[in-house]
Structure 1
Amino acid sequence: MTATLLYPFIIVAGLLQALGNSMNAQYRSRLVNPWLTAVASFLPIVFVFATLFFLMPTPLPTLASLGGMPWYAPLGGVAGAVAVFGGLAFVDKVGAGPFNGLTITGNILTSLALDAFGLFGLQASGFKPLPWLGGLLMVGGIILIARTSAGDGGEKDEGLAGKLLYPFILVAGVLQAVGVAWNAQLNHALVNPWLAATVSFLPVVFVFALVFLVRPSPLPNRDDIAGVRWWMPLAGLAGAVAVFGGLLFVHEVGAGAFNGLLITANLLTSIALDHFGLLGMKQVKIGRERLGGAGLMAAGIVLISVF
């Protein structure tokens, strides 16, 4: 199978990731406590992947493949979850626009560096100016879209305290890209993708559950629970498709193309959700800046994927 044949699957994963983000936002509004929401969102993922592993337990890793596994490989899920934590902790302080712009910028540029230098087991492609130009176009598109994000702090002055958080948010985006590469290494060592996905998500659930036990309040009341819709607990599963896609496809298409396609599909879907006010999102019509940002992102992903 050629790499380009995988692109539609990656685009669908990005679409589902955007749906999962919006579903999680509604889920959090009902469960009140962000740590409880994270646990409730990630637990079904572990259950589904563990069930699939028990149904399809082969192939299994050998002692040789386990012995060659880098120490960081099982931490791919945790690295990616740093961005989730950043969203929980920092979005209210800096606004959704700056937060998403910084994390995605860190993700895209790190992905291009991973491909160029062949880091974390990826095949080195060397420095190619056109993919980097594509990355810069995507960053420009992200900035245009972020400035008009629904409910962002794009027009609010978050002050010096908010701007001091920018380096940490940028690092969260870097770790998001690194986590994808680490997950690919985990899948290579564990052989079975269902086992790899289970191992990747288990530490994430443990960390969020531990934080929830330390900070168990506030808790939802009966009315909050009654407002939970059937699709809200599926938010984590929708987003997990992207992680599973990373396990399988990053070595085939490269980190830059994978994350670029994923993010482009994610943001374009988010724009559509905002435009039509779907899944409880505040309606924000597509304007010239958002259309321009979408065009820049499309041009950028073509340069990254083709060249």
Structure 2
Amino acid sequence: MSPALLYPFIIVAGALQALGNSMNAQLRGRMVNPWLAATVSFLPIVFVFATLFLTMPVPLPGLDSLGRMPWYAPLGGVAGAVAVFGGLAFVDKVGAGPFNGLTLTANILTSLALDAFGLFGLPGGGFKPMPWLGGLLMAVGVTVIARATPAREDGEGGHGLDPKLLYPFIVVAGALQAIGVVWNAQLRGALVNPWLAATVSFVPVVFVFAFILLIRPTPLPTRRDLSGVRWWMPLAGLTGAVAVFAGLLFVDTVGAGAFNGLLITANLLTSVALDHFGWLGMRQVTAGPPRLTGAALMVAGIVLISLF
């Protein structure tokens, strides 16, 4: 199969990833407790992948492949879940555009560093100026988008904080997202079966969030809160899981640059559209010239990273 035939699926995965962040924000509002919301978001993922694995249980890994698996490989889902939890908790505070822009910029810059220095078993490619120039363009683009986002009328981000004080956490979440992709790829190589790899990747995520929920079970949603849960809200985790699974399957086929470029471009444009039209309950922010300029800079950066 030609790698180009996989591009539409990757573009859809990127768009679903952006939608998932906004859906998680709505789920967080209805569930009240962020740990409960995260658990509800990730449980369907484990159920779907475990069911698919039971339906298609072969091939299975051998002792040799399991023995070569790095200890951190099963934690790829946990690393990526930090970005999902950030979206669940903060995307409605800073806006879908700035949130996705920050995570994606941190993601791509971390990916460039992983490739350059050969971290986590990747072949070291050394410093290449054009991809790093692309990363700089992405950073400038997200800065333009963030500056074009008006402050909330109450001047706060819903946590007693200026929304911009949340940016460092969002950047770290984006970096961990990039690392999680590498770990998941190594997990896929060790476990052979992609459905098994996806299940193993997400089970620790549900365990972590459910464990924290047991420790911090309050606040809990009221009946009125639960009555406002729409059917699509608990599916937020599944939309993001499509991108994770696409990475497990297709990165080796289409190449990391093309994969991340298509995924991030679709994610970025979808997130700006979410803000512009106020879809999925997002605060409406018109995509005027500054935001469109920032988006264009980020797309230009993605092109440089993908081509060079």
Same fold at TM > 0.5: yes
Query: C-alpha root-mean-square deviation of aligned residues, in Å?
Result: 2.9
Deviates more, 1:167-176 or 1:282-291: 167-176
What corresponds to 2:19 in structure 1? 19
Deviates more, 1:72-81 or 1:243-252: 243-252
What corresponds to 2:78 in structure 1? 78
Contact 1:76-1:183 at 8 Å conserved across structures: yes
In 2, Cα distance between equivalents of 1:211 and 1:222: 23
Which blocks of at least 5 consecutive residues in structure 1 are unaligned?
none
Superposed counterparts of 1:160-179, under 5 Å: 168-179=169-180
1:39 to partner: Cα distance: 0.3
What corresponds to 1:288 in structure 2? 289
Structure 2 residue 252 is the aligned partner of structure 1 residue 251: yes
1:91 to partner: Cα distance: 6.9
Deviates more, 1:165-174 or 1:179-188: 165-174
What corresponds to 2:225 in structure 1? 224
Q: What secondary structure is seen at the aligned counterpart in 2 of 1:229?
A: coil
1:174 to partner: Cα distance: 1.9
What corresponds to 2:104 in structure 1? 104
Q: Deviations over 1:89-127 (max 9, x none)?
A: 677998877765543332111101222233323344332
Per the normalisation by structure 1, the TM-score is: 0.88
Structure 2 residue 284 is the aligned partner of structure 1 residue 270: no
1:171 to partner: Cα distance: 3.1
In 2, Cα distance between equivalents of 1:296 and 1:186: 34
Deviates more, 1:109-118 or 1:34-43: 109-118
1:262 to partner: Cα distance: 2.2
1:6 to partner: Cα distance: 3.5
Superposed counterparts of 1:1-307, under 5 Å: 1=1, 3-87=3-87, 102-149=102-149, 168-307=169-308
Q: Deviations over 1:138-196 (max 9, x none)?
A: 1111111222347679x879999988876554333222111110000000000011000
In 1, Cα distance between equivalents of 2:282 and 2:99: 18
Deviates more, 1:1-10 or 1:135-144: 1-10
Structure 2 CA distance for partners of 1:150 and 1:225, relative to 1, 3 Å? farther
Contact 2:21-2:84 at 8 Å conserved across structures: no
Deviates more, 1:22-31 or 1:110-119: 110-119
Contact 2:145-2:290 at 8 Å conserved across structures: yes
In 2, Cα distance between equivalents of 1:17 and 1:165: 20
Structure 2 letter corresponding to 1:43: L
Deviates more, 1:251-260 or 1:89-98: 89-98
Structure 2 CA distance for partners of 1:261 and 1:122, relative to 1, 3 Å? farther
1:4 to partner: Cα distance: 4.6
In 2, Cα distance between equivalents of 1:152 and 1:2: 47
In 2, Cα distance between equivalents of 1:278 and 1:99: 16
Which blocks of at least 5 consecutive residues in structure 2 are unaligned?
none
1:7 to partner: Cα distance: 3.3
Contact 1:102-1:166 at 8 Å conserved across structures: yes
Structure 2 CA distance for partners of 1:229 and 1:162, relative to 1, 3 Å? closer
Structure 1 letter corresponding to 2:231: W
Q: Deviations over 1:269-297 (max 9, x none)?
A: 01111212211122211111111011111
Instruction: State the aligned residue count.
Output: 306
Contact 1:122-1:254 at 8 Å conserved across structures: no
Q: What secondary structure is seen at the aligned counterpart in 2 of 1:239?
A: helix
In 1, Cα distance between equivalents of 2:134 and 2:92: 30
Structure 2 CA distance for partners of 1:191 and 1:267, relative to 1, 3 Å? same
Structure 2 letter corresponding to 1:282: R
In 2, Cα distance between equivalents of 1:127 and 1:133: 11
Using the aligned pairs only, state the percent identity: 77
In 2, Cα distance between equivalents of 1:23 and 1:296: 27
In 1, Cα distance between equivalents of 2:249 and 2:52: 16
Per the normalisation by structure 2, the TM-score is: 0.88
Contact 1:138-1:296 at 8 Å conserved across structures: yes
1:234 to partner: Cα distance: 0.9
Contact 2:156-2:162 at 8 Å conserved across structures: no
Structure 2 letter corresponding to 1:246: G
